[in-house]
Amino acid sequence: MELLNRLLASTELAPPLPDDEAIRTAERLSTRFDCTVYPKSIAAGGGEVFFLARKDGGRIVGRLSGDAGAPAINLLPADASSAALLRPKLPFLWPRCIGLRRTIGCGDRLGIATPGHIRACRGKGVECILAQQSIREMTRTRRSPQDVMDDATFGVFQEGFRDGYGADADHLKTPDDADVCLRAGFVMFTIDPGEHVDDEIDLPEAALDAKFEALPWQELESSSAGCRRAFAEQIEPAALVRAAVKYGRAVAHSARMYRHIKAKADGPFEIEVSVDETAAPTSPDEHRYIATELRRLGVEWVSLAPRYVGEFEKGVDYIGDLGVFERELIKHHAIARELGPYKLGFHSGSDKFSIYPIAARVCGDLLHLKTAGTSYLVAVTVAAELDPAFFREILTFARERYPEDRASYHVSARLAEVPKPDELSAEELPGIVDQFHAREVLHVMYGSVVADRPDFHQRLMKLLEDHEEEHYRALEAHIGRHVEPLIG
Ligand SMILES: [Zn+2]
C-alpha cells in the first residue's frame, strides 16, 4: 500500500520497480482485480499507475489514480485507444530514431512476439526495431500500420522495456504507403524503389547509350553530360552508363519519396533506401552511383541495403561464396563510410548465420540486420512441439499452397523434398522446421493462413498465448543466435 501510495504520488515517470517489489505488487493487483498482472509492466507517472494484465484470455490495461487506499480504477481493453492514452504518460512507449548505432529489426507477423524480441536484445549493445513490417506483409496478415505499432507498444509495455526502440515502415513503394505509416507513428521509413530498377543492362553499347540519354534528367536535376562529368574521376564511363541506366529511375523515385516523407513528417524520422529485392547484385560502382546521386538530390539516410552477391533466400542461411561476399562487402562498407557514414542494411537477414561474423567484423556499428519470417517459423516450431496434430494440418496446408505462395518470395525449396506429415513421428515434427525445403515452404504460407484458414490462425494464436513463456523463450533463443555474432 505504501508502495502504491509512493507510485501514485510521482508526478514524473517513476523509475522501474526492482523485480521483487514488482512481483509482489503484481500479485496484489492480480488478486484485487481478478487478472494476471505482468510484473514488469507496472509503471507510474503523472499521478497514475498503469499495468498490463491477462484476463479471460485477452489483455487489459489497468489505470489507477487518486489515493492508494481507495484509488479510482479503470480497466481498459488493450486496444488502439489505450495505446494512444499510454504513450504520452509513459514516453518510453514512443518509438524513436536510432541513427548510426548497430540495429536488428525484429519483424513480428503475428503481433505477439515483441516480448521475446526484447528479451533477445535487452542489454546486449544492439538497438532493436520492434515495429517493422512491409506494406506487402501488412496486407497479407490483414494488419494495419496502426496494428503493427500498437502490438509493439503493448509488448514494450508488458516487458517494461525503457531502453528505446525503433519502428520501421518497411518496403514503402508509393507516397500513399508512407502516409498511412506516418499517421501510425512510425519513425523509420524504408524506401523501396525496386520497381524502378532496370535490370536489362546486358545490351550493346549503342542501346545502353540510348537508354542513358532517355533517363528522366529533369527529375534527376541533371543531364547526361553533367552526369558523365560528375563521375569522370570515380567510375569508368561504360560502368557509369550501366549504373545510371539500372538505377537512375530508382534514384529519382527515392528522392521523390524522401521529399514527400520530409514534407509530411511532423517529428524526427530516419530513412533506409533498399534495392535488395531486385534480380541482379548491386556492384560497388552502382552503389557509389546511387549514394552520390541521392546525396546530390538532398536525400539523407541512415541505412542503405544493396542487393548483395549470393542468394539471400527467406529463412535459410546465405547461399554463395563467403570469400566473395566478404570482399564485396568490404568495398560496400568503404563507400558507406566515405559517402555517409551510413549503415549497410541486410534484408532477408533471418538465419544467415554464416555471414553475421563477417558483417560484424567488416561493418562494426554501421550495420542494420532485418529479420521477420524467422519469428513466424519459431511460432510454428513451438506449435509443432505443443500440438503435433495441429502442426500436421499446418504442414499439409503449407504444401498445398506453396506453388502459389512462393511467387513473390525469393525461395527455391522443392516440394518433393518436404516430408509428408504422416510420414513423421510426433518427435520428428519440430525438427522438420529446420530442414531447408520444409522451412521455406512454411515460411511463405503465413499470408494464406490468415486469408484462407482463419481457424488455423486463431488456433495458432491461442496456442501461443496459452503458452506464452515457451513462445518467448524460443524467440529469445533464436533471435539471440542472430544477436550474439553481431556484438562479437
Ligand atoms: Zn528487403
Q: What residues are paired with 65 via a beta bridge?
A: 48, 72
Distance from Cα 210 to the centre of ligand 1, integer Å: 31
- Among the listed residues 272, 285, 293, 387, the single catalytic one is 272
Distance from Cα 190 to the centre of ligand 1, integer Å: 9
Distance from Cα 177 to the centre of ligand 1, integer Å: 15
How many angstroms separate the Cα of 356 from the Cα of each of 236, 237, 350, 353, 488? 32, 35, 10, 6, 9
Phi, psi of 133 (to 5 degrees): -150, 145
Distance from Cα 144 to the centre of ligand 1, integer Å: 19
The residue behind cell 489507477 is 64
Q: Which stretch of DSSP H or E encloses residue 271?
A: strand 270-274
DSSP labels, 218-263: TTTTS-HHHHHHHHTTTS-HHHHHHHHHHHHHHHHHHHHHHHHHHH
Give the CA dihedral 381, 383, 384, 385, nearest 10 degrees.
90
Is 170 in the active site? yes
Model pTM score = 0.96
User: Which part of the chain has CATH 3.20.20.70?
Assistant: 94-193+269-279+305-374
Distance from Cα 208 to the centre of ligand 1, integer Å: 28
Q: Which stretch of DSSP H or E encloses residue 88?
A: helix 80-89
- Among the listed residues 127, 170, 286, 405, the single catalytic one is 170
pLDDT of residue 68: 76
Q: How many CB atoms lie within 10 A of CB 52?
A: 25
Distance from Cα 277 to the centre of ligand 1, integer Å: 6
The residue behind cell 526502440 is 165
Distance from Cα 136 to the centre of ligand 1, integer Å: 11
Q: What residues are paired with 170 via a beta bridge?
A: 134
Distance (Å, whole) CA 62 – CA 33: 9
Distance from Cα 276 to the centre of ligand 1, integer Å: 5
pLDDT of residue 279: 87
Q: Please give all residues whose CB falls under 5 A of ion ligand 1, grouped by chain where several chains appear.
A: 276, 347
DSSP labels, 206-221: HHHHHHHHTS-TTTTT
Structure letter (DSSP) for residue 320: S
pLDDT of residue 152: 98
Distance from Cα 309 to the centre of ligand 1, integer Å: 15
The residue behind cell 523509475 is 15
Distance from Cα 386 to the centre of ligand 1, integer Å: 32
pLDDT of residue 260: 98
* Tens digits of pLDDT across the chain (488 residues): 678 888 888 889 999 999 999 999 999 999 999 999 999 999 998 899 999 999 998 999 999 998 877 889 999 999 999 999 999 999 999 999 999 999 999 999 999 999 999 999 999 999 999 999 999 999 999 999 999 999 999 999 999 999 999 999 999 999 999 999 999 999 999 999 999 999 999 999 999 999 999 999 999 999 999 999 999 999 999 999 999 999 999 999 999 999 999 999 999 999 999 999 888 999 999 999 999 999 999 999 999 999 999 999 999 999 999 999 999 999 999 999 999 999 999 999 899 999 999 999 999 999 999 999 999 999 999 999 999 999 999 999 999 999 999 988 889 999 999 999 989 999 999 999 999 999 999 999 988 988 899 999 999 999 999 999 999 999 999 999 999 999 86
Is 233 in the active site? no
Q: Which CATH architecture has domain 94-193+269-279+305-374?
A: Alpha-Beta Barrel (3.20)
